[in-house]
Amino acid sequence: MYTVKNRLITAILLFSLSLLFISCPFLIESDPVYSSTQDPKARSETNYNAGVQWRREIFGSGVWYSPSIIADGYCYFPAGAIPGGGSNIVKIDLDNGRVLWESKRFLGNFRSIVNAGNYIFAYMNNIINRDGYVYVIDINNGELAATVKLGETDTEARQNGLTSGNFTVTSSEYIFWGSAASVSPASRGIRRLDTSDVDFDKDPNEVQIIIPDLVWSDNSSTITSNIIYDNGIIYFITWSGLLVAVDAETKAEKWRQNTPFQLTWSNSVLALYDDKILAMDSKIISYNKNTGELILESDNLVNKPAAISLRFNLHNNILYYIDDDQTKVVSVNIDTLEIIWTRDLREHYLQSYAGHHTYTSRPHIYNGKVFVTSNTGLRVYNADTGAFIGVNTSVNYSENGSIMYNNKLLVLNYNHNNGYTSTFLTAVLCN
């Protein structure tokens, strides 16, 4: 029987427990740990009204290491992980988002795509018995135009091919790429495919064997940076820390310069601006692009540039980059190599949520503003001061799908709904 005495005892116990929680605040979780099923706990922020011109759903997903490219005024989007298997390339009208053609499906994912002349050259990644193949696609209709194997045997084709962590670059008729430590020492260096060697009169499914030239090699050096092409010269950094300039036509070495970026597993980054070439890793160093002469060297950077996907841009003598943690936008004066401003994405969130958010694209500069996507929205900053202008939460993520074309920002973003992920390419009008 529940007596008055029992009620009194219960009340005393409940009161005592309440005092315990009040006196022991560590028992109460006031700022919950982030969960992907929860809305991110953002601080109150100004909304940026991004004018979405069009949004196109993509049948598949983006490939983070193979970004979209702009050629002849159109976007060529490499779509991977297509339902049912395979990858293809989609040509999209930049004015209205209309799909003009889709190529056939290929097994595996694209390692890199480049435009040379009237064709897209696509290198596939991690294909059983197909590594070391290049598929050539007609830019006008999306039809397969040629199939190229980069060696007499599968082993030779793989050794001559593009390896993980490196990037291709094209001149008017040549395509260049670097090799990594995973290939044999004899194959390491810079290779070149002469696109004029491709016979377009052959059946496009007939495999043409074309051995790419070994343009440059030195002590079996692995290439650890992106490759830059400018006015007939290619520039790159090796595993041993050499910054090298090579004539793209004659293959003659123009100059070499030692850098402090030796034996680094994280790729160094190269950028070209006027007569300077910038080498970026643990610090930023500027060299004369014609002679290799050292111009200026910064102190060691607290926030080093991210090698992933080359997340930087140059505008009006200012370098803007995403740091290696992908949580900060950094602005640097190219002439002095001094930091102008740094903007930390984690400032926008409550403390326990801050570590779960990253910038997901390179910074793009237009009309005095910096546009950069994060996993929770398109963020806009003042290009001169770094002051936060606003965020549009309907445009998020981006990976490597972000490209600035005139006043239009193309963003690859995702919509997660009931366990199904939709991929969209969105055109945002910047103002």
How confident is the model at residue 350, as a pLDDT? 57
- What local confidence, expressed as pLDDT, does residue 373 receive? 87
Mean pLDDT of the chain: 80
Q: Is pLDDT at 238 greater than 60 in this prediction?
A: yes
What confidence tens digit (pLDDT) does each residue in 96-141 have? 999 999 999 888 778 888 999 999 999 876 565 567 899 999 999 9
- Give the percent of the chain with pLDDT over 90: 41
Give the separation between CA 151 and CA 163, rounded to whole angstroms: 15
Q: What is the DSSP letter of 265?
A: S
Mapped onto helix, strand or coil, the DSSP state of residue 278 is strand
Domain spanning 35-57+311-431, CATH class: mainly beta
Indicate yes or no: pTM above 0.85.
Answer: no
pLDDT of residue 361: 85
Q: What is the pLDDT of residues 48-74, one digit of tens each?
A: 888 889 988 877 665 555 678 898 889
Same topology between domain 35-57+311-431 and domain 106-302? no
Distances, alpha carbon 329 to alpha carbons 267, 313, 317, in Å: 19, 11, 16
DSSP state of 153: S
Torsion of CA 350, 356, 362, 365, to 10 degrees: -10
106-302 CATH, one of 2.130.10.10, 1.20.120.160, 3.20.20.10, 3.40.630.10: 2.130.10.10
Can you give the pLDDT at residue 148? 95
What is the side-by-side strand order in the sheet with 242-247? 228-230, 233-237, 242-247, 253-258
Residue 311: burial class (beta carbons within 10 Å; 0-12, 13-18, 19+): buried
Residues 256, 242 contacting (CB under 8 angstroms): yes
> What pLDDT is stored for residue 62 in this prediction?
59
Query: What is the domain partition of the chain in residue ranges?
Result: 35-57+311-431, 106-302
Which residue has tokens 């003659």? 252
